[in-house]
């Protein structure tokens, strides 16, 4: 299963590339949508965020139950990687009862570092692109639940900190953007991960400066940090421009296949009375 990034979906380039590679191997794949990212507004007074570990855990359990006795693997990209790592670290040994292995790609391990980096220089282009759709969804949420969000503050949002302080925090029970960035970061949970997990980052990722990457002491032995010289933020294209997007899914599936051979009953999900086959589709979360 793949947890997509901020304002992504099952149509994101990395999701389509991974599901294509999964299908070629004869595996089953699923891309669950974070709330509000399926093309339909979420009906509850909440959305999604980088520290949404409870949501990630629920989705893993729900999909694993449908997978029958098959080995189950999970990938999280960017925000999705942050939420997945949050759950893996908090769940500890319990996560190993469901997943055989996991991977986080370009995850913003520190929301504060990532939020400050994306607010500087050329990176502000990414901020404006995110805010374009995030503000639109926030206005819909404000109309759904009058008084829940300050519409005037939404209009004034110019950075991710502004948006998280005005929208993300009040929607999800945080005291403000600083509280959310501190409590929602996955960096402090890497030591609790017990599932074999690949942490894949590029040294030139604009959202996570190289000197801010975690030291081995803050990670458990189950975490394998792999750094590439290039790749930017969820780029990892190979060859001449525009680049081949299949390197990343191939690399991820190779990592999972290494652990497939050692899969045991401890990582087999509960049996389902009616196993479901998933192709390159989506499941509403």
Exposure of 171 by Cβ count < 10 A (0-12 exposed, 13-18 middle, 19+ buried)?
Answer: buried
Residues in the chain: 285
Residue indicated by tokens 């149509």: 11
Distance CA 183, CA 216 (A): 21
What's the burial of 191, exposed, middle or buried (CB within 10 Å: 0-12/13-18/19+)?
middle
Tokens of 104: 């986080």
Query: Do residues 133 and 101 make contact, with C-beta atoms less than 8 angstroms apart?
Result: no
- 101 touches 195 (CB < 8 A): yes
The three-point CA angle 39-45-48 to 5° equals 60
Neighbours of 244 (CB within 10 A): 13
> Residue 262 burial by CB count (10 A; 0-12/13-18/19+): exposed, middle or buried?
exposed
Q: Which residues contact 233 (CB under 8 A, 6 or more apart)?
A: 78, 106, 126, 202, 205, 206, 207
**Residue ranges with strand state E in 127-232:** 197-202, 223-228
Q: Residues 269, 98: contact at Cβ < 8 Å?
A: yes
Catalytic residue list? 78, 205, 233
Angstrom CA distances, 63 to 30, 73, 163, stand at 8, 11, 31
């Amino acid at each position: 299963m793949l947890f997509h990034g901020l304002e992504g979906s099952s149509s994101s380039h990395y999701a389509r590339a991974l599901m294509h590679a999964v299908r070629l191997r004869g595996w089953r794949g699923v891309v669950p949508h974070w709330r509000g990212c399926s093309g339909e507004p979420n009906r509850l007074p909440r959305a999604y965020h980088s520290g949404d570990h409870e949501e990630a855990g629920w989705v893993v359990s729900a999909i694993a139950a449908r997978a029958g006795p098959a080995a189950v693997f999970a990938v999280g990209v960017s925000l999705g990687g942050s939420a997945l790592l949050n759950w893996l670290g908090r769940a500890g040994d319990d996560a190993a009862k469901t997943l055989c292995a996991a991977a986080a790609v370009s995850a913003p391990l520190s929301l504060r570092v990532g939020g400050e980096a994306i607010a500087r220089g050329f990176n502000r282009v990414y901020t404006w692109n995110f805010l374009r759709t995030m503000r639109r969804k926030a206005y819909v949420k404000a109309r759904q639940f009058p008084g829940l969000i300050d519409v005037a503050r939404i209009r004034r949002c110019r950075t991710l900190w502004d948006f998280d302080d005005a929208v993300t925090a009040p929607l999800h029970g945080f005291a403000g953007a600083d509280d959310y960035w501190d409590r929602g970061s996955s960096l402090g949970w890497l030591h609790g991960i017990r599932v074999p997990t690949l942490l894949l980052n590029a040294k030139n990722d604009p959202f996570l400066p190289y000197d801010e990457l975690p030291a081995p002491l803050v990670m458990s032995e189950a975490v394998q940090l792999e750094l590439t010289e290039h790749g930017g933020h969820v780029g990892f294209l190979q060859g001449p421009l525009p680049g081949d997007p299949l390197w990343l899914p191939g690399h991820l599936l190779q990592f999972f296949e290494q652990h497939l051979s050692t899969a045991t009953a401890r990582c087999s999900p509960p049996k389902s009375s009616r196993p479901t086959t998933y192709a390159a589709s989506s499941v509403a979360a």
